[in-house]
Amino acid sequence: MNPDPDYSAAYVVIRTDAPDGHEGHGFAFTIGRGNEVQKAAIDALRPMLIGLPLAETLDDMGSFWRRLVHDSHLRWLGPEKGVMHMAISAVVNAMWDLKAKRAGKPLWKLLADLTPEQIVDLVDFRYISDVLTPDDALDILRRSDAGKAEREERLRARGYPAYTTTPGWLGYTDEKLVQRCEDAVNQGFSQIKLKVGGDLEQDRRRLELARSTCGPAIRIAVDANQRWDVPTAIRWINALAPYEPWWIEEPTSPDDVLGHAAIAEAIAPIRVATGEHVPNRIVFKQLLQAGAVSFVQIDAARVAGVNENIAILLLAAKFGIPVCPHAGGVGLCELVQHLAMFDYVAVSAELDDRVIEYVDHLHEHFVDPVVVRGGHYLAPTMPGFSAAMKPETITAYTYPDGSAWQDIRHDRV
């Protein structure tokens, strides 16, 4: 589905006149063309930020989020989906980066230190209150309040489990697939993921190779990137059943709640995962209501940032469904680790079957890159949301004047 990605980001820097000099960084990740559309959408939000009183705004991030998401004019362009929602994500996340830097804490810790009441204030329950009320959310958070300190300690000591997509890209030779599977196991990963959906016979062969290389103890998830219609998905996945895929990810359109439910029923006990393209908490709510997913794959920068992801973590906790974040791209690993760690310490209080995706791409551009050791993300310690790219990266890759662009011949209109 994404044959020629050109990883890009519409990058936001929020500056203030506070003497601390902190900046908030955030971004909307894109795969190339259209990055300028994200930039235009972020620019449309600019008037809503300029001149805001800093401390009051950061103290009431729930209201800030609502002001952006429910702006009646901009809402028309969604509502709550696509370009405009991703732009809000970039801005909201940048504000959280700023807030965490000012607090001197990594974001996961800042969130985990909030009271249940403060967390509930961050969440907009509009359109989800039929399934999750503020009282439900308080119950979940208060229940998890016990044991927070122990979980934080465990997290700092052992990190958060990861899985790797590195072995599984389409187009690898068998040798490369086997080599990368061996590497993954040797590096301590207990789960890998393979892309599927191009050709059934090849998928079978690749899964068989991966299974025989990794052994029966390693979980092998497969990912179709929305390639199938419902009947094809059911047929194809059932044909892969002998290789015991741990989950099938994005079997069809992210908008198709009923389609996912039909697939889940027809392929059980294989389980369905989705979320990286699910537009908002309202669709996640329904995927959970319909029993359509067994894993919720939040993305840090598609729904409207930290606040909406907290709503989704709470929805998943209500249904007892594990959250296994999507990552990769540019900086998505850096962001989403904070949300998963907050989930563990303060929301679901669980690690069973929870894993964060890991892709070993582009981390060298970040000031506070993820650290993955022994198949685990280590808990970030630097204040902020780990969103900031290095100044030299920003200078070199800013379009069109950055040095990295100067060698590229632009022959498209």
Active site residues per annotation: 195, 326
CA geometry: angle at 343 spanning 54 and 155, to 5°?
Answer: 105
Nearest by Cα to 273 from 76, 284, 392? 284
| Residue ranges in 209-248 that form contacts with its own copies under rule CB under 8 A | 226, 229-231
Looking at the Cβ atoms of 158 and 277, the one nearer to its own copies is 277
Note whether 127 binds its own copies by CB under 8 A.
yes
Number of Cβ within 10 Å of residue 243's Cβ equals: 18
Note whether 2 binds its own copies by CB under 8 A.
yes
99 in Cβ contact with 110 (< 8 Å): yes
Note whether 57 binds its own copies by CB under 8 A.
no
Looking at the Cβ atoms of 74 and 95, the one nearer to its own copies is 74
| Residue ranges in 286-315 that form contacts with its own copies under rule CB under 8 A | 286, 289-290
DSSP letter at 105 equals S
Note whether 85 binds its own copies by CB under 8 A.
yes
Taking contact as CB under 8 A, which single stretch among the options 93-101, 156-164, 252-260, 384-392 is the one that binds its own copies? 252-260
229 in Cβ contact with 210 (< 8 Å): no
Place of tokens 């970030």: 380
Q: Write the single-letter amino acid at 129.
A: S
CA distance 265 to 291: 9
Note whether 82 binds its own copies by CB under 8 A.
yes
88 in Cβ contact with 309 (< 8 Å): no
Nearest by Cα to 68 from 59, 56, 57, 55? 57
Strand partners of residue 223: 195, 249
Note whether 408 binds its own copies by CB under 8 A.
no
Note whether 37 binds its own copies by CB under 8 A.
yes
Note whether 198 binds its own copies by CB under 8 A.
no
Taking contact as CB under 8 A, which single stretch among the options 122-130, 140-148, 214-222, 316-324 is the one that binds its own copies? 122-130
With CB under 8 A as the contact rule, the residue among 167, 251, 254, 322 that binds its own copies is 254
Looking at the Cβ atoms of 6 and 364, the one nearer to its own copies is 6
Q: How far is the CB of 128 from its own copies (least distance, A)?
A: 8
Note whether 30 binds its own copies by CB under 8 A.
yes
Q: How far is the CB of 253 from its own copies (least distance, A)?
A: 4
Handedness of CA 22, 367, 68, 28 (dihedral sign): positive
Q: How far is the CB of 183 from its own copies (least distance, A)?
A: 28
Nearest by Cα to 326 from 339, 308, 315, 307? 339
Note whether 256 binds its own copies by CB under 8 A.
yes
Note whether 257 binds its own copies by CB under 8 A.
yes
Which residue intervals of 292-331 are DSSP H helices? 305-319
Note whether 16 binds its own copies by CB under 8 A.
no
Torsion of CA 151, 298, 215, 186, to 10 degrees: -60
With CB under 8 A as the contact rule, the residue among 77, 170, 351, 371 that binds its own copies is 77
Looking at the Cβ atoms of 21 and 47, the one nearer to its own copies is 47
Taking contact as CB under 8 A, which single stretch among the options 89-97, 170-178, 285-293, 345-353 is the one that binds its own copies? 285-293
Determine how β-strand 247-249 pairs with β-strand 271-274. Answer: parallel
Looking at the Cβ atoms of 125 and 169, the one nearer to its own copies is 125
Looking at the Cβ atoms of 144 and 274, the one nearer to its own copies is 274
Tokens of 272: 């369905």
Q: How far is the CB of 78 from its own copies (least distance, A)?
A: 5
**Dihedrals φ, ψ of 260, to 5°?**
-60, -40
**Dihedrals φ, ψ of 79, to 5°?**
-75, 140
CA distance 197 to 171: 12
Contact positions toward its own copies, by CB under 8 A? Answer: 1-6, 30-34, 36-41, 43-44, 46-47, 50, 71-86, 125-130, 226, 229-231, 252-259, 262, 277, 279-280, 282-283, 285-286, 289-290, 412-413
